[in-house]
Amino acid sequence: MKILEIGKLPVYMWAEDVEAGAMQQINNLSMFPYAFHHIAIMPDCHEGFGMPIGGVLSTRDVIIPNAVGVDIGCGMCAMRTDLKEIDVKSLNRIFNKLRELIPLGFNHQTKKQDEAIMPKGYDISGMPVVKKEWEEALYQLGTLGGGNHFIEIQKGSDGYIWAMIHSGSRNLGKQVADFYNKLAISFNEKEKSTVPKSHQLAYLRIDSKEGRQYNEEMKFCVEFALANRKLMMERIASVLEEETHCGFISWEGTRFINIAHNYAAEEEHFGCKVIVHRKGATRALRGETGIVPGSQGSKSYIVKGKGNPESFMSCSHGAGRKMGRNEARKKLNLEEERRKLESKKIIHALRTPADLDEASGAYKDIDLVMKLQADLVDICIELTPLGVIKG
């Protein structure tokens, strides 16, 4: 970690080779009037909207929709089977069945899913977006989404076969994010905020009606994203059991590991109660189990947090992009990227040039990312991909 003095607050930086756009956003965060103590930048950092992916921002008094992002509650889950090996024919059969059971990309379910799966304990009468989107959300449960979302079957360094999912809150999260970001922009204009609109860091006061509503709807989306992953994992487990007669065994006392990496939470750091925004960053309390995924051609990791206060007890959420999507499609060679995966005998999702935005070459070196955050997490298990489904 190195400390940069570039604005009003110092920046604690675990990243290397940060592109100019992300550096400008980091500078904007360091000038943000409600930012607290310092800005923390994880090693997977790259440019986002308003705030870089891989950023951790703590604030007092305000909450920032763009510092959470549009895929609220996006995260990872993993389960360990009791299998030691799995053959390619079985993997192909499993993936074929999963493509039938789990809608990918923009696709939703053709039938409503059970309302009992939806998050409980919320009064949706005071949640305008969730109330409006409730019926549509029932069709989004159990769907993967697009972009960098994936389902992977992996071989662990512990000797077992694992299943992993990366997915989020689907269109529900986007609707919540867009609605409250527009409200925040309007509020900042009325308040004559000193934060330039071009910084895309419009905020809501946490004690305002709108701030409280966003906080509740955001929490709902985090739980909705978890419910979405759970339903997919149930269906993955059923297919694995059907095809391999496997069982599932716990690791460190849990059968289902789950973490989120796009949310804001009220926490205490450096003696103050603050709102920690983690955008493409994962909480890493001391002893907390987490997941840091690689790209579809590189390892993922089950980790334990070290509770490092300098990162606001956070770590990276993955490898992080080194190329934008359009740049990757223009610069990367499809046959070369396919050869990389096939040489490792990975069942992959690179079929056309349009898929190159999710090629391994579009991502940072996960080994370097893990090395850079050795003071944030301990690696417990390395997971090597055997096959992947991409959204």
Q: Residue 250 belongs to what H/E stretch?
A: none
3 state SS of 3: strand
pTM of the model as a whole: 0.96
3 state SS of 346: coil
42-51 core/surface letters (b: 16 or more CB in 10 A; e: else): bbbbbbbbbb
Q: pLDDT value at position 17?
A: 87
Separation of alpha carbons 217 and 130, rounded Å: 7
Q: How many residues does the chain have?
A: 391
CATH number attached to the domain at 2-322+363-390: 3.90.1860.10
The number of C-alpha atoms within 13 Å of 385 and in the hemisphere containing its C-beta is 28
Lookup: tokens for 292: 């840091």
Q: pLDDT value at position 297?
A: 86
365-388 core/surface letters (b: 16 or more CB in 10 A; e: else): bbeebbebbeebbeebbbbbbbbb
* Phi, psi angle pair for 171, to nearest 5°: -70, -25
Separation of alpha carbons 199 and 195, rounded Å: 7
Q: Which residue in 46, 108, 149, 317 is the catalytic one?
A: 317
Q: pLDDT value at position 203?
A: 98
Neighbours of 329 (CB within 10 A): 18
pLDDT in tens, the chain (391 residues): 999 998 899 999 999 989 999 999 999 999 999 999 999 999 999 999 999 999 999 999 999 999 999 999 999 999 999 999 999 999 999 999 999 999 999 999 999 999 999 999 999 999 999 999 999 999 999 999 998 999 999 999 999 999 999 999 999 999 999 999 999 999 999 999 999 999 999 999 999 999 999 999 999 999 999 999 999 999 999 999 999 999 999 999 999 999 999 999 999 999 999 999 999 999 999 999 999 999 888 999 999 999 999 999 999 999 999 988 999 999 999 999 999 999 999 998 888 999 999 998 999 999 999 999 999 999 999 999 999 999 8
Pairing of strands 35-46, 11-13: parallel
Calculate the CA 181 to chain-centre distance.
19
Query: For residues 376, 377, 383 and 388, what is the CA-based torsion angle, rounded to 10 degrees?
Result: -40
Identity of residue 106: F
Q: pLDDT value at position 295?
A: 87
Domain locations in the chain? 2-322+363-390
3 state SS of 44: strand
Q: What is the chain's Cα-based Rg?
A: 20
Lookup: tokens for 233: 């994992």
Lookup: tokens for 145: 């989404």
- The β-bridge partners of 292 are 301
Separation of alpha carbons 70 and 172, rounded Å: 9
Does residue 317 carry a catalytic annotation? yes
- Whether the CB-CB separation of 46 and 196 falls below 8 Å is answered with no
Residue appearing with tokens 């763009």: 66
Q: pLDDT value at position 391?
A: 82
Q: pLDDT value at position 31?
A: 97
